[in-house]
Chains A and B, each alone.
Chain A
Amino acid sequence: ETGVTQSPTHLIKTRGQQVTLRCSSQSGHNTVSWYQQALGQGPQFIFQYYREEENGRGNFPPRFSGLQFPNYSSELNVNALELDDSALYLCASSLEAGEETQYFGPGTRLLVL
């Protein structure tokens, strides 16, 4: 059974650019959640996707957007990058939208200069 994978592992961008992060969910899981973890902080919920639809969103501006594909993999897109977007971005998958236990990938570390 393959776990949650994310790509790339590290990324450096400059302010104002756009970035796309990718996540493959664990086999059999149809729900993906994205979290932002700033240095020294706990993860903050960005949004969740269930069967290709957004299923809930945290307090993040619209320049944070996402997609989920028919194979349940997912993308996180961030437009107009700001310095404060520098963080570890974590993807987590779960069996169903109603399943509370989430399994996390290793994360993508984004640095915005």
Chain B
Amino acid sequence: GDSVTQMEGPVTLSEEAFLTINCTYTATGYPSLFWYVQYPGEGLQLLLKATKADDKGSNKGFEATYRKETTSFHLEKGSVQVSDSAVYFCALSDRGGTSYGKLTFGQGTILTVHP
């Protein structure tokens, strides 16, 4: 079945540091890939997405490129801020599945950014 694996956390960085959160996936079809962010006490917010190989999703300085050859969708940001502290989830939606639009999530990576 479909699965998503994220790098183990938590990740602690200083402000303005470079961020990478690794994500790899297994899917039977041709999935769309997503990054969601969850701030303390809140639900999930869509951060960015990519729907086909080599697509780059970007939003608020975050980027991720859909790499079919390595089945990866790593999240990057060049300069993190304290306000980026949150839990980040990688997810996929497998268009070949019977539950069209069902999201499969990774376990989440906690990011803490210190001033």
Show the binding face of A for B, using Cβ within 8 Å.
4, 6, 31, 33, 35, 40-45, 48, 55-58, 90, 92, 94, 97-107
Contact = CB atoms under 8 A, between A and B. Distances in A.
A58 B102 contact: yes
Contacts of A44: 105
B97 to A, nearest CB: 8
A45 B103 contact: yes
B107 A42 contact: yes
A107 B101 contact: no
A42 B32 contact: no
B43 A101 contact: no
Nearest to B32: A100
Given A57-B99, A104-B36, A107-B43, 13 more contacts: A4-B43, A31-B101, A33-B101, A42-B4, A42-B89, A48-B102, A56-B98, A90-B43, A90-B44, A97-B101, A98-B100, A100-B32, A102-B101
B89 A45 contact: no
B99 A55 contact: yes
B93 interface: yes
B46 A103 contact: yes
Contacts of A33: 101-103
B18 to A, nearest CB: 24
Contacts of B102: 33, 45, 48, 56, 58
A31 B80 CA distance: 35
A56 B102 CA distance: 8
